Homo-oligomer: A and B are copies of this chain.
Amino acid sequence: MTAPTTADLLALDRAAQDLLFRAARTANTFTDEPVTDAQVAAIHDLIRYGPTAYNGQPLRVLLLRSPESRARLLPYVSSSNRAKTASAPLVAVLAADVDFHERLPELYPHRPQARDWLADRAARVEQARFNATLQIGYLIVGVRAAGLAAGPMAGFDTAGVQREFFPDGRHEVLLLLNLGHPGPHTGPTRLPRLATGEVIRTLEG
């Protein structure tokens, strides 16, 4: 926790600061309480307003709820992530739609030609990955806004998950995300954060 003066410089009230950032933790255990489809829809309805280049919104989310769907994922998850992935009420596979540009005439109607600027697939993959990753940042905040804990996991066989769940070749899998009500926290206490002076500097002159 920081001095009140720093928190007071923000327009966001202190309870919301705690909910989204200061008191929020990446969960590694979850209670049995389910995450409903209505909660997921409410989270998306909030974070879909976050900005993306050309308003392209390339993030796509595949929810694994049933034991059968979860069993298809587990072989690709690193051993240290397997128990929490098996026990989380909901697991989301987060991917970028590489062909997001097809929707731009609708999503960016004042410059419909933006679709053609993205005709090159390699450049488009980079755009899709970057903007979907920004949206994952918004999504993690949104999960917390719903009073849930998020458990992002990068330790998995990306190519395997992509083959298993997105065999269409138009998606790039980026991250797995466990969602649920947090159980007792295991593992280290709050890890240290870099000081502002280590992250941000002003160019002199």
Contacts and interface: CB of A to CB of B under 8 A. Distances in A.
Interface of A: 2, 6-7, 9-13, 15-17, 19-22, 24, 26, 37-51, 53, 55, 57, 59-66, 68-69, 103, 106-110, 127, 130, 133-138, 140-142, 145-147, 150, 152, 154, 165, 174, 187-188, 191-194, 196, 199-205
A147 B202 contact: no
A196 B202 CA distance: 40
A199 B141 contact: no
A194 B107 contact: yes
Contacts of A141: 20, 50, 137-138, 141
Given A44-B196, A48-B199, A107-B194, 18 more contacts: A2-B45, A6-B45, A10-B46, A11-B145, A21-B142, A44-B199, A50-B137, A50-B140, A51-B150, A53-B154, A57-B199, A61-B200, A110-B188, A127-B154, A133-B134, A134-B137, A137-B138, A165-B203
A26 B51 contact: yes
- This chain: copies in complex: 2
A40 to B, nearest CB: 6
Nearest to A69: B203
Contact of A193 (B6, B13, B48, B145): B48
Given A107-B194, A147-B10, A50 B63 contact: no
